[in-house]
Structure 1
């Protein structure tokens, strides 16, 4: 028994073909949007690649670019089929291609559905990427004279200013690394010597942060040195001075930024996926209703269209039988090749 069987007359077939033609071109525009979103996300990730351990972070934008390109190509092709479907002579050349095309559309829709799923589950991977990248970037903050790292200070400072954040998880992360370059330290000073000697790794660690951690909304001049020393500053209590420095870590700020962006993109991709499913179902109806015309020479005659010719169970069973038959053919071919080899060996002997 056919699933979603519908009767069509000429008027309904014309409306279906025109509606599908229009929807296909909407999908082409949607494909351009997907492509543009992929490019935008790729640029945003590349802008901050220095503070990201981005081995896997470009999978989503690359997928959006590929799916956007394929959507434009497939829907432009489907638009042409729908345009020619009402002319029997023109439609005749497209008729053999419709079944393979619908199979390609099904595979395409499966892959396009996976993109929003990946967008929504990639938070953990993105968090790990940002955590390792920021930690590495902060270690190289002081290396302004080292080739390949000389712009890291500027990158980190701009990042902290733009996203109103400080450190990886918070401003205290700066207390655990040496972020002041040795060229700016007076090694004849007793204080500098004592600080270096007191550290196992021989690093100059201080309870201070870069200027970019300062909150401009603070009513007092920013205290960025001796942050935890209440006696070093007048009328100061570091545990209650919330406006002095940004309290949010840059990992949290960037994660919120990229998660929000990818959630919006996932919603857009889901909308495109729904449109593509509608187009695929509509094309299946158009294909079957034109194949079942009672009298192909009479355009006014009625026909029937459906999504599946048999029930879902029977359809899956038939697909399984086809799959098994393909496996048997491969086995027979391999056996045949083995027999030919044995025969050749016998002949040589």
Structure 2
């Protein structure tokens, strides 16, 4: 009977080892995805981040990058711990899984909180940022972001093209004869912002604020879904780790 129990335990341990190995391989791949989402958010869309007064959107992306790096390292550690059958390594692996779990839950929560307050922040700050900082000294990043925003989303001004009449760029004479930036034009040519007509510039109501809000909300959904989704998967890994840890005999000291 004792030999049967020992064989049964050995088979159970072997099954757990291979399940945990498969999990770690998928987990390693998931870490790459998490890191890629964070990097893509910061690198590809960094111009738009400069238009936001809050750092929550960027913070969520940084947390995902950090979590992704730790996930990939943890995946390798998990494979080593599994096949070497070392309880100490499994302890370290479990603690890292728990830390990553908390990091990704934090990223998801931050994304959700910012999702709720984004509309109010854009209403309060986007117009002021555009009219006060566009083409001003030491504000090249804002200028680049505004021009990219207006061209990419085919919009003009925060709420409408009329916002530009209040801008420092226009009121101080820096704009010359232009009424709006050239980036408001449907077809950009030099000084095309002089001709303030719907056939020449984007004049639809809602301006850039509604389009930027939709864009960021879509990305917050991705950040939140990735963070919380991977965190839920990690629960499975933690369960496998605990089961394998209990099945392994304590290491002699």
The interval holding the TM-score normalised by the smaller chain is: 0.7 to 0.9
Tell me the CA shift for residue 104 of structure 1.
4.2
Tell me the CA shift for residue 47 of structure 1.
2.3
Higher-helix-fraction structure: 2
Tell me the CA shift for residue 135 of structure 1.
2.1
1-side partners of 2:165 and 2:241: how far apart? 63
Tell me the CA shift for residue 120 of structure 1.
1.9
Match of 1:137 in 2: 130
Match of 1:246 in 2: 204
Aligned residues: 237
Match of 2:151 in 1: 161
SS in 1 for 2:134: coil
Tell me the CA shift for residue 212 of structure 1.
3.6
- Give the TM-score normalised by the residue count of structure 2: 0.76
Residues 23-59 of structure 1, C-alpha deviations (whole Å, 9 max, x = no match): 1011111112111211111124422344333544421
Match of 1:25 in 2: 25
Contact 2:47 2:142 in 1 (8 A): no
1-side partners of 2:139 and 2:247: how far apart? 65
SS in 2 for 1:278: helix
1-side partners of 2:95 and 2:213: how far apart? 38
Tell me the CA shift for residue 81 of structure 1.
1.3
- Give the TM-score normalised by the residue count of structure 1: 0.57
Contact 1:164 1:248 in 2 (8 A): no
Tell me the CA shift for residue 276 of structure 1.
1.3
After superposition, the Cα gap between the structure-2 partners of 1:110 and 1:254, relative to the gap in structure 1 and judged at 3 Å, is same
Q: Which of 105, 108, 112 matches 2:97? A: 105
Higher Rg? 1
Where does the alignment leave 5 or more consecutive residues of structure 2 unmatched? 1-6, 188-192
Where does the alignment leave 5 or more consecutive residues of structure 1 unmatched? 1-6, 86-93, 187-205, 217-221, 228-237, 293-349
Segment drifting more, 13-22 vs 133-142: 133-142
Alignment of 1:172 with 2:162, yes or no, is yes
Residues 255-287 of structure 1, C-alpha deviations (whole Å, 9 max, x = no match): 211211221232222332222111110011111
After superposition, the Cα gap between the structure-2 partners of 1:69 and 1:184, relative to the gap in structure 1 and judged at 3 Å, is closer
Q: Which runs of 4+ in 1 moved over 6 A?
A: none
